[in-house]
Chains A and B, each alone.
Chain A
């Protein structure tokens, strides 16, 4: 078969390997200008003077914009994903550029447009600023003291939100506890770092008053709404087009100020303007950082009676982008997959003078997984029991699902015991457990670790009972249009977007299956707000489960019409027509090709194509017997059991990952290859978080991990091939029973690898690992008995 007609796991595969795929930086309309951003060099300061004159003198520079001028053109930036109050957070005003005060090193203070990139950068370098420094708040750990009594008055101005969730009576449980543990954990700040950074190309058309923005983006409809608002335009006057995206992982959501600025620049210069982020700029953003002070009460069997976690989540400078919302999700996801009767979670979300959080794969759910999995291991260790048994003792049993968590999140489906046991079996855990104790020696410590991960997915991160004064939340729908034209060609237009994974392929597969067509007859259009029905883009692992459901509904409608037409032609009942292999099969064994059928329909004058648009909202289940009413929140939970095996070099602290196994439940699997691809990428990221990735700044708040040589992400030689199994428990909350597969893997891999390293270290007498990542200096410090390396 020639390659061109082969069905590869990914549609349009050759456009990628042949170099034809177009990403945003590949677009070069005539008269294009390039924008560069001037950034603050201070963590917190008043801007005393900003001099742009020299920049205007740089050859090729066309325009320089600073805060005061921008303020005359742009409205304040609105919050993405709704009012902060939904999450108990405070509000503030955001301008695209600051007028008098900078809040972090790297904050944009001016933008420069020029004839080419090099001139724009030279122009930006020529802008000078004078500052008067203000006190910078860079270390949120001061909040850890005295959490119970609330933050001290002098620090209150940094508090963005306080999130508290509880169930049962933790105080009583601690008073009666047989065993207790107190542990603190520090999870480092990390960055999404897709290989393609952010980028936007704005083209203002004065004659039509329309703005077209090509953006490497995850949320075209949200971007349209926000740009319209900030620019003072009607939504119809803004078109967002998303070309190929070189990975996103949360980074490319709406909110960064470069979005309106590049548009304003285009409108003022009357020329298309492009901004492509540099790698160092891309590394400014971060997320995930959190500090936990955890107390656990448990009995001799390892059953956890109570858990109390005081956590502090520094979200960087406040921002309208959705990143900071992950702090809420972290607190609300406790105590993950475990059935703990008494829970008390007290979370302080605090603003610092570091760059704002961006959303990042896992969306806050990986922190609680890490903490709970460390807790399970350390409970087991204290009792001298197998960590697998301690987990079995505490996992929410299948019969208890649906299970309401203290935050109000609802675990809709799953069979945690089966998933864990299958993962242990697939990894041959019993054998590994013996092996790591006998293998190795003074030159090599071996370890095996496990983790159980649950990931609330499908959108809707607020939580809780719907009581007086609590704003309700609603499920966001996804929609799709499916049409088939006179040649039998199927087009799917979807409101979900594709950041690079394979959801376009999955949508094509789903439409093809309903229509009895082959995948090659289907084209998928995504990310164009003029052409596609609205949707949420790419967020919360819902593209296939929710976006795909809309495609199925629309395709079913079209398929019904096709069946009815074929039935009418043959004079048989429509139920007897089967769509298969690109044709309608009639009871008598005859068949009519879809193309022929469509030609007939078109000839009858029923339009140039057959088309249907449908939207789909995931449900929220209400468990029987529950009297309280809850807010809408995440409709489904995927889960996974992970087993990692490592070898630690005790004399240098380096760690080699020998193997990583997962058994995963993402509900019904639409396409195994695609799901496994998602998992592999997420697990690689989790391994990186366990061992390598760490965002760092100097004592003045300036980023020191500015390139991939300081911010270390995993490369091919340091990863093994992962072993993946599936255990599907369909969710009742989506049409297809499928759940998510975009975020799973990060927290599970992270926790399993950390636990494996800790297993190895503990047998050499080291204190428990509590600060991450476990890079060689930290591992060596643990082995020296020190524990907390800086």
Chain B
């Protein structure tokens, strides 16, 4: 007496084909990645799909390193990010974020990075980090694959740049951000709480001329890239960072500020500078630690 059909595609192309079929029949699909959000929606009756496309057999759960990029499959779990040697060595930002995911060992085993990206929620860790890492999102549709820069992928709150017939396949981290000193800070209201405000920071590698990437989550309805003054990272003090954040936040139309049951917009705006500064400070410390 199931209320919907469930399929388990074996490849991204199969998944896209299944979604196309559902669309053509006028159905309402639900894609399940790790399932930590989507399965409760289904079992609590918050969504009523006609068809479920469960990506559990998709085999996109690998982390692959090449000279130019690190590719992270959509179905890679937080625990895999924590345990991966490549991630630990070259993408400590991602590892630190994964370690801070709440929900215990189980959620770290089950929830996927791709799922967090596709959920595109402002109260979440991954989106801001993916934007800071300038990741390219590979999306498979019935007409083939396309690439979307992370910054364009997050269109609005809970709105990823995905059509109803597409799935996320993997996320490519460019060589330009690998091995860079980084810092991450998450503010939450308690162990049970979703993230409230997050900040991810990447500093230039050594003396090259890259800028500093600073991205805030949970302040706007999508990740906010904060332009940082071109100072020596060591000179990025609290006042400088807070000012940069305040300018960025003030420039945002009020209806694009985020607030929810955990904390209103005002609180988020008030702590944003401090959270950003802590991420920067951690990045600076990690750079100094590496020296």
Interface on A for B, CB 8 Å cutoff?
59-60, 115-116, 118-119, 121-122, 125, 278, 280, 651-654, 691-692, 696, 704-705, 708-710, 712-718, 775-777, 780, 784, 790
Most buried by B among A121, A651, A705, A716: A651
- What residues on B are CB-neighbors of A654 within 8 Å? 187, 189
- Is residue B243 within 8 Å, beta carbon to beta carbon, of the partner chain? no
For B45, give its contact among A116, A121, A790 (CB under 8 Å): A121
With A115-B1, A651-B271 known as contacts, the answer to whether A712 contacts B44 (CB < 8 A) is: no
Bound: A715/B102 CA distance, A: 10
- Whose C-beta in chain B lies nearest to the C-beta of A121? B45
B45 lies within 8 A of A125 (CB): yes
A691 lies within 8 A of B190 (CB): yes
B189 lies within 8 A of A692 (CB): yes
Bound: A125/B47 CA distance, A: 12
Bound: A715/B190 CA distance, A: 8
> Could you list some 11 contacts between A and B, CB below 8 A?
A652-B271, A653-B267, A704-B261, A705-B261, A708-B192, A712-B189, A713-B192, A716-B191, A717-B191, A776-B187, A777-B267
- What residues on A are CB-neighbors of B7 within 8 Å? none
Scoring B residues 207 to 239 as 1 if CB is less than 8 Å from chain A, else 0, what string do you get?
A: 000000000000000000000000000000000
- Whose C-beta in chain B lies nearest to the C-beta of A114? B1
A715 lies within 8 A of B267 (CB): no
Bound: A790/B266 CA distance, A: 12
Smallest Cβ distance from B92 to chain A, in angstroms? 22
For A712, give its contact among B1, B192, B270, B275 (CB under 8 Å): B192
Smallest Cβ distance from B284 to chain A, in angstroms? 16
Smallest Cβ distance from B101 to chain A, in angstroms? 13
- What residues on A are CB-neighbors of B264 within 8 Å? 777, 790
- Whose C-beta in chain A lies nearest to the C-beta of B277? A651
For B261, give its contact among A708, A710, A714 (CB under 8 Å): A710
- What residues on B are CB-neighbors of A122 within 8 Å? 3, 45
- What would 8 more interface pairs be, CB under 8 Å, given A118-B1, A118-B2, A712-B189? A119-B1, A125-B45, A692-B189, A692-B192, A716-B191, A717-B191, A776-B263, A780-B270
With A654-B187, A777-B267 known as contacts, the answer to whether A715 contacts B192 (CB < 8 A) is: yes
B275 lies within 8 A of A652 (CB): yes
Shortest beta-carbon contacts, A-B, top 5: A715-B191, A777-B267, A651-B274, A712-B192, A712-B190
Bound: A188/B262 CA distance, A: 15
- What residues on B are CB-neighbors of A705 within 8 Å? 261
Bound: A653/B1 CA distance, A: 50
Bound: A572/B3 CA distance, A: 78
- What residues on B are CB-neighbors of A60 within 8 Å? 1
- Is residue B194 within 8 Å, beta carbon to beta carbon, of the partner chain? yes
Smallest Cβ distance from A444 to chain B, in angstroms? 13
Bound: A692/B187 CA distance, A: 15
A780 lies within 8 A of B261 (CB): no
Smallest Cβ distance from A198 to chain B, in angstroms? 17
- What residues on A are CB-neighbors of B267 within 8 Å? 653, 776-777, 780
- What residues on A are CB-neighbors of B191 within 8 Å? 714-718
Bound: A619/B194 CA distance, A: 50
Chain B, interface size category, equals 20 to 34
- What residues on B are CB-neighbors of A710 within 8 Å? 261-262
Smallest Cβ distance from B36 to chain A, in angstroms? 11
- What residues on B are CB-neighbors of A780 within 8 Å? 267, 270-271
- What residues on B are CB-neighbors of A717 within 8 Å? 191
Among B19-51, those with CB < 8 Å from A are 44-45
Smallest Cβ distance from B285 to chain A, in angstroms? 15
Smallest Cβ distance from A721 to chain B, in angstroms? 16
A718 lies within 8 A of B187 (CB): no
Bound: A653/B270 CA distance, A: 11
Among B65-123, those with CB < 8 Å from A are none
A776 lies within 8 A of B189 (CB): yes
With A651-B271, A777-B264 known as contacts, the answer to whether A692 contacts B190 (CB < 8 A) is: yes
B190 lies within 8 A of A777 (CB): no
B263 lies within 8 A of A116 (CB): no
Among B169-189, those with CB < 8 Å from A are 187, 189
- Is residue B11 within 8 Å, beta carbon to beta carbon, of the partner chain? no
- What residues on A are CB-neighbors of B190 within 8 Å? 691-692, 712, 714-715, 718
Among B131-179, those with CB < 8 Å from A are none
- What residues on A are CB-neighbors of B192 within 8 Å? 692, 708-709, 712-713, 715
Bound: A407/B275 CA distance, A: 50
B261 lies within 8 A of A696 (CB): yes
- What residues on A are CB-neighbors of B3 within 8 Å? 118, 122
- What residues on B are CB-neighbors of A652 within 8 Å? 187, 271, 274-275
Most buried by A among B2, B187, B261, B274: B261
Smallest Cβ distance from A651 to chain B, in angstroms? 4
Bound: A118/B263 CA distance, A: 34
B193 lies within 8 A of A712 (CB): yes
- Whose C-beta in chain B lies nearest to the C-beta of A655? B190
Among B239-282, those with CB < 8 Å from A are 261-264, 267, 270-271, 274-275
For B1, give its contact among A116, A692, A716 (CB under 8 Å): A116
Bound: A790/B44 CA distance, A: 31
Bound: A654/B191 CA distance, A: 12
Bound: A708/B191 CA distance, A: 11
Bound: A776/B264 CA distance, A: 11
Bound: A714/B193 CA distance, A: 10
Smallest Cβ distance from A3 to chain B, in angstroms? 26
- What residues on A are CB-neighbors of B263 within 8 Å? 776-777
- What residues on A are CB-neighbors of B194 within 8 Å? 709
- What residues on B are CB-neighbors of A125 within 8 Å? 45
Smallest Cβ distance from B99 to chain A, in angstroms? 13
- Whose C-beta in chain B lies nearest to the C-beta of A710? B261
Bound: A125/B3 CA distance, A: 13
Most buried by B among A115, A119, A654, A718: A654
- What residues on B are CB-neighbors of A714 within 8 Å? 190-191
- What residues on B are CB-neighbors of A653 within 8 Å? 267, 271
Bound: A714/B262 CA distance, A: 15
Bound: A32/B192 CA distance, A: 35
A709 lies within 8 A of B1 (CB): no
Bound: A777/B187 CA distance, A: 12
- What residues on B are CB-neighbors of A775 within 8 Å? 189
Bound: A583/B3 CA distance, A: 64
Smallest Cβ distance from A58 to chain B, in angstroms? 9
Bound: A705/B190 CA distance, A: 15
B44 lies within 8 A of A709 (CB): no
Smallest Cβ distance from B83 to chain A, in angstroms? 21
Smallest Cβ distance from B42 to chain A, in angstroms? 10
Bound: A717/B271 CA distance, A: 23
- What residues on B are CB-neighbors of A712 within 8 Å? 189-190, 192-193
Bound: A278/B44 CA distance, A: 9
- Whose C-beta in chain A lies nearest to the C-beta of B197? A652
Smallest Cβ distance from A699 to chain B, in angstroms? 13
